[in-house]
Amino acid sequence: MRYAYAGDRQISVNILRFLIERGHKPLTLFVVEGDSNSHSENLIDISGLDDASVFTGQKFKEQQNIEKLKRLELDYIFGIHFPYIIPEQVLELPKIGFLNLHPAFLPFNKGWNTPSWAILEKTPYGATLHFMAKELDAGAIIHQKEIEILPNETAHTLYERTLKLEEEIFIEAFPKLEKLNPDRKAQTEKGTSHSKKDLQKVQKINLDETVSFQEAIDKIRALTTNSIEEAAYFEVGKDKYAVQLVIKKIARET
């Protein structure tokens, strides 16, 4: 199995380690650079690749590097929480495909802030391994699993649980990936999709609006992430107040 690996975050470290332990070392590595980088050094260390085989930032898009990648005759490129837009020329490099792990139950919640929108719009949620295509998160599905959104979950806790599910579906799909024969199921439903900016449109709380407690709780928990910048907020005079939620399941009195 000849592959390039593109990733960031702890999940990408875990999956790269899994592949290497199964006897499959990457031929080349794409890592993130700058402030958004979290695990590039870990990935480089684990891969054992020399500097010439590691593309930092968006260097994998440069024509001279695309030519290098062509010569590798790759079966796959695995994208694991890799934040850059992939040009069509790179998508077409591997013989089988550029595969992506997405924290959502496609075709629902394509794009950004997937746990937030799953709570807000009450759509199915889970994790999906799929082929990448020109259109956002629209490629054929290899493997996916759905999970129930629990009443005490925020977007942050749901996302943390989904990261574990992403690893699980990759490992379950691996035997067929290794045989170069992954499943392919076309996405036939339209589903839902959101850009990064869409979340800003729902963050402000109108203190004069009449809503149910359920609607209020769902909005605030959907906007409780690991970033206060994504939180629901209200304004009083010139001041702005962010609101995040902690929900604890407790014993019910009988």
Does residue 248 lie within any of the structural domains?
no
* End position of a domain, from candidates 156, 176, 193: 193
Q: Which residues of the chain have pLDDT under 70?
A: none
- Looking at the structure of the chain, the number of domains it has is 2
Does residue 158 lie within any of the structural domains?
yes
pTM of the model: 0.93
Does residue 230 lie within any of the structural domains?
yes
Does residue 253 lie within any of the structural domains?
no
User: Does residue 48 share a domain with residue 72?
Assistant: yes
User: Does residue 217 share a domain with residue 107?
Assistant: no
pLDDT in tens, 173-213: 999 999 999 999 999 888 999 999 999 999 999 999 999 99
User: Does residue 205 share a domain with residue 88?
Assistant: no
Does residue 250 lie within any of the structural domains?
no
Which single residue is written with the structure tokens 């806790």? 157
User: Does residue 185 share a domain with residue 139?
Assistant: yes
Does residue 252 lie within any of the structural domains?
no
Q: What is the CATH number of the domain that holds 49?
A: 3.40.50.170
User: Does residue 212 share a domain with residue 177?
Assistant: no
Angle at 228 between CA 227 and CA 233, to 5 degrees: 140
Does residue 63 lie within any of the structural domains?
yes
User: Does residue 189 share a domain with residue 235?
Assistant: no
DSSP 117-150: HHHHHT--EEEEEEE--SSTT-SPEEEEEEEPPP
Three-state SS at 133: coil
User: Does residue 54 share a domain with residue 146?
Assistant: yes
pLDDT at res. 94:
98
Spatial contact of 60 and 27, defined as CB atoms under 8 Å apart: no
Residue 151 structural domain = 3-193
* End position of a domain, from candidates 193, 217, 233: 193
User: Does residue 222 share a domain with residue 210?
Assistant: yes
pLDDT at res. 38:
84
User: Does residue 160 share a domain with residue 35?
Assistant: yes
